[in-house]
Each structure stands twice: as C-alpha cells, then as structure tokens.
Amino acid sequence: MASRAPVATGRLLMGFRKWYYNMAGFNKLGLMRDDTLHEDTDVVEALRRIPENQYNDRMFRLKRALDLSMKQQVLPKEQWTQFEEDVHYLTPYLKEVVQERIEKEEWMKN
Amino acid sequence: MASLRKTQPLLKIANDALVDLPAPSNISVWWNFGSLLGLCLIAQILTGLFLAMHYTADVNTAFSSVAHITRDVNYGWLIRDMHANGASFFFICVYMHIGRGLYYGSYLLKGAWNVGVILLLLVMMTAFVGYVLPWGQMSFWGATVITNLLSAVPYVGNALVQWIWGGFSVDNATLTRFFAFHFLFPFVIAGMAMVHLLFLHQTGSNNPLGLNSGGDKVPFHPYFSYKDLLGFAVLLVVLATIALFTPNLLGDPDNFTPANPLVTPPHIKPEWYFLFAYAILRSIPDKLGGVLALLASILVLLVVPFLHTCKLRGLTFRPLSQFLFWALIANVVILTWIGGMPVEDPYIIIGQLASVLYFSIFLILFPLAGWLENKVLGLT
C-alpha cells in the first residue's frame, strides 16, 4: 500500500546508514561522528562555541582514540559507540557558523 | 637556566626539528618514509661523490670509466651498485611517501604538499639525467626518446630540443651537461627538502586518524628518533641485500652494451620507476597529447587538495574511498607492467583503459566518493 512504501524505504535507508556507520569504524575507537570532522576554519569556530563539558568530553575521546591508534588496538565491543547513541553535538553550532559565514560573504559582495 | 640546545641559534634549529618537536603519539610506519628519503638523498650524494672522482663525462670514455670503477677502484663495484640500486630505493620511498599523503589526507597541508610535488619532479629529472651517464644503449636511447618529446612543444619545439642537446642529436655536449645537472640537482633537492620541512613544522604532522593530535603529543626524541633509526637500519639492510646479492635485478641488460647511435634496441624502456608514466605517455597516439598526459600524470597531484570533498580528513574512516585508493594502486601496478611491454595488442587497449582510469580516479571518483560518504553519514 502507498502509505507503507516510504516507511519501508526509510527503514532500508536507516539500515544502510547504520551498516555504513559501523563499517567506517570510528565507533570502535569510542569516537562520535562529529569527533571525526576535519578541523577547518568553520569547525574550529564551532568548537570555540560549544559548552566546556562537551569540549572536555571531546578531548577525552580524541586522546583515548589517539592512544588506541598508537597501540594498534580498539575498544572492547561493549564500549563501541552505538549508531543510535551517537550525539551530533557539534552540528547545531557548525550550522550557525556556516550560516554566519555565508551571510558575511553575501554582505561583502555588495 | 635553559639548556644550550634551546638557546644557541644553530643548535636551536636542530633541537626544534629533531629533539623537542611535538609529534603525534600515533604516527605509524608510513611516517618513516620522510626521514628515509633524507637518508636516501645522503646515501646517493655520498656514493655519487665517490663515483664522480673516477667517472669521466665524455662519450669516448664514459662507459669504460664505469667499467674501471667496477673493476679497479677499491670497492668501486659496491659504490656503483649502491648508487644504482639506491636510486630504486629512493623511488620506493617516494611512492610510499606520496601514498601516505594521499591515503591520510596529508595533502591538506598545502605548502608542504606543493613543495613535495616540486621535489618529486626534481628527483625524477635527477634520475633521468643520471641514467644517461653510464652511456650504455639504454642510457643513449632512453635519452633520445624522452628529449625528442620536447619537439612536441608548438613553434619552439625543435629549437628547444637542439638547445637541450647542445647539438643535432644526443652526443658529447648532452652527456657533459647531463653530468653537470646530475651533480647539481641533489643539492637543489636538499634545499627544497628543508623548505618542505619548514612548511611541515608550521602545523606539525598529520596522523593516521586525521584528527587534531594536540591533546596527545610526544617529543620527537626519543620516540621517533629511535623509530627512524630502526627504519634506517631496515632500509640499509634491504639495500645492501639487493646490491650484494642481485645488483642487476632492477636493471636492463641492454645497458651492458656501449651506446651505438646506429643500432636501435628493439625495446626501449626506462627504469621501473618511470614505467607507469611511460605507459600513460604511449597511450595517446598524438605526440603532444602524450607529452601533456605525461606531465598531467604527475601534476594531477597539485589539484588533489582542491578536489577534497569529504568532511573527514583521511581515508581511515571512509571504506568507499579506501576501495578506490587500492584500485588506484592496482591501476598504477598495471600501468607499470604495461610500460614495460611492447606497443602491441592487447597491451595497447589495456594501457589506454588504465590511463583513463588513473585520471578518472583522481578527478572524478575520489571527489564523488567523498560527496557520497558525506551524504551517508548525514554530513552536508
């Protein structure tokens, strides 16, 4: 039936996303998605704006991941970040920063 | 009271590069190839210097001077074999170093990357002119084929080629100036290598996770000074094994025949490290097109930073791009194989497809994969 098709596709898409999330492997190092973002100027500015506790948690996760990488190890399976538990803590701030930059660039054009 | 190594102007430079330099704790064996390239350069300069004491750059005596070095000069055979095989090891390290740069997104350090491409071109030019010096058949004919490519340049092509030759063909004037270039370029490379490090030390090294490693740095000494020393030992053992047990493994038998402008070898080909580019050159039937493709095969590296689309830095957490990376490596191996084959079926079509794939991976597939990976992770 027509009303079921989007839900099935949505579930399929989420299933694929979850599979890819696990394939990517950063969760095995206890990282969240937003931890893996390359620190360009926008990300650096967004990091300046996040609350201190979130920043400290991020630094802990990064340091733990770097240490695991140095030892060529991963976390025990029960400590892997789960797809459903991943928090996109940086994304709202990043969206704000990008929006501001775009507005500034538009302003400077005129 | 600060230590002398931190205050004395000269020692301070060495200290800031080799002792107190903050390095990521997790840089792996792929980060050894930078220092190994430095070792290769020093080894080539030293062995080259000793060869230059006995070599004569004249078409009548060059070949026999190399034979004289090999037979009469004390340990001349070893110096010659170390220098010839050292060039191969130089390129092994160069390709590993570039591969690391591509895989881990180190090219985002644009200053170091661009100087690196210049270094690659300098090393290739040095190796090319160096191979001419023994004045064997492959030395002469390889020089003839490659220098003739310059005639493809519109309007000034023929004049340019004769200017490079110093005459109307590859002859004595060419050999003497190639010797001068081969002696000079390594010192230019050494200077550029220092500029390369200057740019690198503005930001510090990348690391296998592509993350900001500011929270977990260790001093270069003792961790990476000793790790690099181990790398040196491994390289020297492998180089010595090749030079002592199979010194001619990577060489061409035709170069045991003195150069003869009247006899063209049936299969003219460069050393293994140039074969992939040679295959790309030959894949285009037009001379100028082939030359442009040859140049593009190296200069494509300069556009890689601008085609970086993914929000993640390296390929560590990007399985789709990892597949493409290894496809690129396999493709370069195929191009190397094709470059050593004669221009006949089925090698022609395989070479052409591999050449198209080479550029497609860099210019289309990597950016596309990065865009797709952003989408799947919900990063827009």
Chain-centroid distance, C-alpha B236: 18
* Residue B221 annotated as binding site: no
Closest CA of chain A from B6, distance in Å: 28
B296, with CB counted inside 10 A (0-12, 13-18, 19+), is middle
Contacts of B375 in chain A (CB under 8 A): none
> ω into residue B270 within 30 of 0, thus cis?
no
Q: Which CATH architecture has domain B14-260?
A: Up-down Bundle (1.20)
pLDDT at A110: 79
**Pairwise CB contact (< 8 Å): B377 & A24:** yes
Q: Give me the mean pLDDT over the A10-31 stretch.
A: 95
- Amino acid identity of residue B160, one-letter, is L
Candidates B65, B205, B283, B297; catalytic one: B205
Check if A80 contacts B (Cβ < 8 Å). Answer: no
**Pairwise CB contact (< 8 Å): A67 & B215:** no
Give me chain A's average pLDDT, please: 93
CB-closest option in A23, A62, A88 to B212: A62
Residue B228 is among the residues annotated as catalytic for this protein: yes
The C-alpha atoms of residue A70 and residue A48 are separated, in whole angstroms, by: 27
**Pairwise CB contact (< 8 Å): B379 & A35:** no
pLDDT at B1: 83
Q: Give me the mean pLDDT over the A56-68 stretch.
A: 98
pLDDT at A6: 54
Reported as a single tens digit per residue, the pLDDT across B239-275 is 999 999 999 999 999 999 999 999 999 999 999 999 9
Residue pairs between chains A and B whose CB atoms are closer than 8 Å: 66
Q: What is the ipTM of this complex?
A: 0.92
Q: What residue spans define the domains of chain B?
A: 14-260, 269-379
Query: Could you tell me the pLDDT band of residue A37, with boundaries at 50, 70 and 90?
Result: very high
Residue B271 is among the residues annotated as catalytic for this protein: yes
The C-alpha atoms of residue A102 and residue B50 are separated, in whole angstroms, by: 61
Contact B74, B67 (CB under 8 A): no
The C-alpha atoms of residue B347 and residue B208 are separated, in whole angstroms, by: 37
- Is it true that B14-260 and B269-379 share their CATH fold? no
Position B285 pLDDT exceeds 80:
yes
Q: What backbone phi and psi angles, to 5 degrees, belong to A91?
A: -55, -45
The pTM is what? 0.95
Reported as a single tens digit per residue, the pLDDT across B45-86 is 999 999 999 999 999 999 999 999 999 999 999 999 999 999
Residue B20 is among the residues annotated as catalytic for this protein: no
The C-alpha atoms of residue A72 and residue A40 are separated, in whole angstroms, by: 27
Q: Give me the mean pLDDT over the A39-47 stretch.
A: 97
User: What residues contact B144, with CB distance under 8 A and at least 6 apart?
Assistant: B169, B170
Alpha helices (H) along B23-169:
33-52, 62-71, 76-103, 110-132, 137-148, 157-165
pLDDT at A5: 47
Q: What backbone phi and psi angles, to 5 degrees, belong to A89?
A: -65, -25
- Amino acid identity of residue A38, one-letter, is H
Q: Which CATH class is domain B269-379?
A: mainly alpha
Reported as a single tens digit per residue, the pLDDT across B122-170 is 999 999 999 999 999 999 999 999 999 999 999 999 999 999 999 999 9
Contacts of A23 in chain B (CB under 8 A): 319
DSSP secondary structure string for all residues of B196-228: HHHHHHHH----TT-S--TTSEEEHHHHHHHHH
- In which element (H, E) is residue B24 found? strand B22-24
Question: CA angle, corner B179, sides to B50 and B61, nearest 5?
Answer: 80
Give me chain B's average pLDDT, please: 97
